[in-house]
Structure formats: structure tokens, C-alpha cells
Structure 1
Amino acid sequence: MKISIIKPGMLSTVQDPGRYRYLSQAVPVSGAMDQLAHRLANKAVGNDDDAATIELSYADASFRAETDILVAYSGDGAFLVYNDEIMPAEKPLFFCAGAIVNLIANTAGVWTYMAVAGGWEVPDVMESKSTYLPAGFGGLTGRALRKGDVLIHNQSVSRVSAQIFDQLRQKGIIYPDWRISRADLLPHDRHTVRVVLGNEINWFDASSIIAFLTKSYTIDRRSNRMGYHLTGTPLVRKIKKELLSTAVTPGVIQVTGSGGLVVLMADCQTTGGYPRIARIASVDLPVFAQLKPGELIRFSEISAEEAEELYLERERDLALISTAISLKYIKI
């Protein structure tokens, strides 16, 4: 399966779950900003979760199917359009060779993921296909996609992917009558995210902690794949000592010297010297990632145990989705 890029959009890169085994060597995780949407796009075409997808920022992109292809998309940044019809998300989509597919704006969010049966084939760099733009490695020669780029799929296609592809091609239809319900895996309130208070929470005075947990913050235009800057009530430190550079990961909320908040995202550094007031619960990080500049966000405190249970519950739900799709196409 092969596509050629007609318009790459604002920022399109190849991503997967990221590289976690090289943090001790100061290599960032990278990977998909919205890990849930990345995984659901893969599940819809019968891939494992670690297959590479194309991550698109916003929309205004298009591609041509150079061969018959089986793809799926998920996320809030764009709608996939074929023959002037919006294609359903979280569903396998079959397109014949020569099809022109466009991605148009979806005002609900920022990031959209397009999976292909088998995953997009680019070289592994440190056990991941994810693009890390600041250092120029991973993905397609370490850069964003450009007009004229050609991408092919990994030919190690799963039995489920092969069955979906064959059934849709034989029936001459674009998609089946089932879909994954992404909405059922997300909280109803997309502007409140749950956080676990961080190691340096007691460095701040009581009024700042109350403000952090009750006031709204605005996503700043400086936000990018390394971190989202928030504007709002500045936080005041009661402990003035400096923090030795210490481990950080995506989802950590740091407080700058001026009292501002920075939420570290997929391409963040591996260590930092700003105090860590909290960390966004893993299940809510995809929701936060989809917020656009100018949108408001509030934080709600939960315990580490609650965050872990929410994570395990979602993992159980995702495992059931994979099992249901497999049982639909593979006879036991």
C-alpha cells in the first residue's frame, strides 16, 4: 500500500508510541501527542498499537492513493474527506488506487492520526519510528512530511488487517457497518483534567495551591510539541531554593520563575529544574493535548491510586476493543 503527499498540511510527521528506553541518555520520548487517538486509528485497521501513524496538526492536507489502501483516522484536528463526503473516524476505510483524499478542518481540536494496515514503514531509530524534529531523527529522515513524499506500509500485515482489506475490496465498499466509539473512552468535560499533585507542591503558598485547583488557565500561543504554556494566576513560591535538575516526563506541570505554568508534552526534555506542582493523569493527557491556543482548562486533584485505576480501566476497555475486532474477522 502506497500514498503520495499532495499537501502536507501545517505539520505532519510519522509517530508511534515513542522511545522510552533512552531517557537516561537524554533522548526525549517523542511519539504521538494524543496516544489514545493514535491507538484507536491502529486498532480500526487491525494493527498493534505500536504501528507508526501519520500525525497531522490541524488540517489542509491531502494525499493520493497510489495503490489500493486500507486506512483509518482518529483525533480532533481534521475530518477525512473523499468525493466531498466526510468519512467516519475510528473505522477502517478502503480506497482504490487513484483516490484523492483530503483532510479538512475540525474545530474540536489539534491532532489527527492516520493509520494504514501494517503501519507506515520508516526506519527504526532507537527502537522507535517517531519523528523528533529538534534533533532531526526518526520518522521520514527526521523531518516533517513534504509535498511529493511517498509513504508505503509495512508488509507485515496482521491477519485481521488482511481480512478487513479483502472483505471491503470484494464488496466494493469504503467502510463496514461498525466503528469504535472514541467518545465513550473520553471524559464528558473536555476542559477539566485530573492531576496528581507533584513532589514540590509544598513549595507554594496556600493561596497559590488553591488558585491552581480552582482557577481557569488559558492555552498560550507559544505551545508546541515540547510543552503547552498556560496563562492565568501566577503562583507564588514560599520556598525560594533552587531545584536540582531532576527527572520529568510528558504530563508534568512545571512552575517557571515568574509563576507561570508549563505542561510538558511529547517532545519535552528528560530533566528539568523548575518545581513540579503536579502531573496530568495519563488518561486525561490526550484530552489536554487536543486543546487549542485560547481555550480554557481547569485542574482537578485525584490521588495516585485513582489515576492508576483510571489507567487500568481504560487499558481493559482498549483490550476488549482489540478482542472484539479480532473475533469479528478471525474464526477461532
Structure 2
Amino acid sequence: MEICILKPGVLSTIQDLGRMDYLNQAIPVSGATDQLSARIANKAVGNSEGDAVIEFTYAAAEFKAETEILIAYAGDGATFYANGEKLPTERPIFVPAETVIKLINNPDGARTYLAIAGGWNVPEVLGSKSTYLTAAFGGYEGRILKTGDHLKSSENLSETSISILNRLRGNTIKYLQWSIPKALLLPKDHKTIRVVPAREFTWFDSQSIIGFLSDSFSIGLNSNRMGYHLEGNKINRIKNDELLSTAVFPGTIQVTGSGNLVLLMADCQTTGGYPRIAQVASVDLPLCAQLKPGDHIRFSEISKEDAEFLYIEREKELARLTLAINSKF
């Protein structure tokens, strides 16, 4: 299976679930910013959830099916259209050769993930197919996708993928009626982000802590896959001890020397010298991944135990969904 990129969009890269084994060598996790959407897209076509996907940022992208393809997409940044027909999200779609698919902007989010049966066939670098643009490695030649790029799927299709393909194969676009609704795996309030107090939480005055957990913050224009700069009331320190560079991770919220907040994202560094006020609960990172400059969010405190419970419950639900899909084929 093969596609050709006709328009690459704002920022389109190959990603998977990232590299976890090289943090001690200062290699960031990278990977899909919205891992839940990436996993859902892969599950829908019978892939392993860690297979490579294309991460599209916003829309204005377009590609052509060079051969027949079995795909699925998930995420809130764009809606797929082919021949004037809106293609449904979060389910397998068969697309005949020569079909052109356009991504139309969805104002509800920022990123959309395209999975193909077998996963995108690019080399592994340090145990992952994810693109790390800063160091120009991984993904497709270590860079963003460009017009004219040809991308192929792996030929190693799962039995589930083969069964879905055989059921849908034909001369027209076809898709199954079932879907994997991401909305059921997320809280209804997409603008309240649950956080766990971090190691330096007590380094800030009480008024700042109250403001952090009650005020609204907006996503700044200079935000990207490395991190979001948040605009809002300043956070004031009462403890000015020198902080040696210490571990950070996607979802860490740091306070800069000027009192501003930075929410670290997929391509963030592995250590940092700014104090950490909080860590986003893993289950809410997909909400952060869909934020755009100008969006407003609030933070709500939960315990480490609650964050762990929510994570385990979501993983159980995803496992049940996988079992249900495999049992259909």
C-alpha cells in the first residue's frame, strides 16, 4: 500500500509511541503528541498500537492513494474528505487507488493521526520510528513530510487487518459501521486539565498556588511540539534555592524565572533547570495535545493515586476494545 503527499500541510511527520530507552542519554521521548488518537487509529485497522502513523498538524494537507489502501484516522485537527464525501473518523476505511483525500480544518483541535494497515514503513532509529526534528533523525529521513513524498506501508499485515481488507475491498470507498469513539475515553470538560503537584510545588506563594488552580491560562503563539508557553497571571516563588537540572517529561509544568508557565510536550528535553509546579495526569495529555494558540485552560489538582487509577481504567478499556475488534474478525 502506498500514498503520495500532494500537500504536506503545516507540520506533518511520522510518529509512533516514542522512544523510552534513551532518556539517560538526553534523547527525548518524541512520538505522537496525542497518543490516544494514534493508538485508536492503529487499533481500527488491526495494527499494533505502537505502529507508525502520520501526525498532521491542523489541516491544509492532501494525499493520493497510489494503490488501494486500508486506513483509519483519529484526532481533532482535521476531517478527511474524498470525492466530496466526508470520511468518518475512528474506523477502518477502504480507499481505491487514485483516490485523492483532502484534510479540511476542524476548529475543535490541532492534530490528526493517519494509520495504514501494517503501519508506515520507515526505518527504526534508537528503537522507534518517531521523527525528532531537532536532531533530524527518525521518521521519514528525519524531516517533515514534503510534496512528492511517497510513503509505503509495511507488508506485514495482521490477521485482523487482512480480514478487514478482504471485507471492504472493492471499487469504491467503503467503511465499517462500528467505530472506536475517543470521546468515551476522555472527560467531557476538555478545558480543565488534571494535574498532580510536582516536587517544587511548595516553592511558590499561596496566592500563586491558588491562582494556578483557579485562574485561566491561554496557549501562547510560540508553542510547539517541545512545549506550550502559557499566558496568564505570574507565579511567584518564595523559595529561591538553586535547582540543579533535574528530570522532566511530557506533561511537566515548569515555572520560568519570569514567573511564566511552560507545559512540556512530546519533544521536550529530558532535564530542565526551572522548578516544576505540577505534572499533567497521563490521561489528560491527549487533551493538551489538541490545544491551539489562543485556547484557554484551567488546572485542577488530583492525587497521584487518582491519576494512577484513571490511567489503569483507561488502559483496561482500551484492552477491551482491542479484544472486541479482534473477536469480530
Render the CA deviation track for 1:63-114: whole Å, top value 9, x for unaligned: 1101110000000000010111111100101011111111110000100000
- 2:250 partner amino acid: P
Q: Render the CA deviation track for 1:253-283: whole Å, top value 9, x for unaligned.
A: 0000000000000000000000000000000
Aligned letter for 1:140?
Y
Question: How many residues are paired up?
Answer: 329
Offset at residue 173 of structure 1 (A): 5.1
Percent of residue pairs bearing the same amino acid type:
58
- The answer for the alignment partner of 1:189 in structure 2 is 189
Give 2:35's aligned residue.
Answer: 35
Within 2, Cα distance between the matches of 1:100 and 1:305? 47
Q: Aligned equivalents of 1:194 and 1:117: distance in 2?
A: 34
Runs of 4+ in 1 over 3 A off after TM superposition: 170-173
Output the amino acid matched with 1:80: F
Specify the alignment match of 1:250 in structure 2. 250
- 8 Å CA contact retained: 2:65, 2:100: yes
TM-score when normalising by structure 1: 0.98
CA distance in 1 between partners of 2:178 and 2:26 (Å): 43
For residues 136-192 of structure 1, the C-alpha deviation after alignment (integer angstroms, 9 at most, x for no partner) is: 000001000000000000111100001001100159551011111111011100100
1:89 aligns with 2:121: no
CA distance in structure 2 between the partners assigned to 1:165 and 1:82 by the alignment: 19
Could you tell me how far apart the structure 2 residues matched to 1:242 and 1:220 are? 27
Counterpart Cα distance in 2 of 1:151 and 1:323? 29
Aligned AA (2:296): L
Q: For 1:196, give the aligned amino acid.
A: V
- Residue 174 of structure 2 is matched in structure 1 by 174
Aligned pairs for 1:24-63 within 5 A: 24-63=24-63
Q: Find out whether 1:263 has 2:255 as its counterpart.
A: no
Tell me the SS of whatever aligns to 1:18: coil
Q: What pairs with 1:102-141 in structure 2 (closer than 5 Å)?
A: 102-141=102-141
Unaligned runs of 5+ in 2: none
> Whole-Å Cα distance in 2 between the matches of residues 170 and 5 of structure 1?
23
- Name the amino acid aligned to 1:238: I
For the pair 1:71 / 2:56, whether they are aligned, the reply is: no
Q: Are the equivalent residues in 1 in contact too, given 2:95–2:172 (CA < 8 A)?
A: no
Aligned match of 2:218: 218
- Match of residue 5 from structure 1: 5
C-alpha displacement at 1:225, in angstroms?
Answer: 0.3
Contact 2:96–2:171 (CA<8 Å) still a contact in 1? Answer: no
User: What aligned pairs does 1:232-251 form with structure 2 within 5 A after superposition?
Assistant: 232-251=232-251
Distance 1:37 1:217, change over 3 A: same
- 1:96/1:173 CA distance change after superposition, 3 Å: closer
Show the counterpart of 1:80: 80
| 1:326 aligned partner | 326
Q: Please state whether the residue corresponding to 1:214 is helix, strand or coil.
A: coil
SS for the counterpart of 1:38 is: helix
C-alpha distance in structure 1 between counterparts of 2:67 and 2:32, whole Å: 26
Partner amino acid, structure 1, of 2:324: A
Taking the aligned partners of 1:290 and 1:171, their CA distance within structure 2 comes to: 35
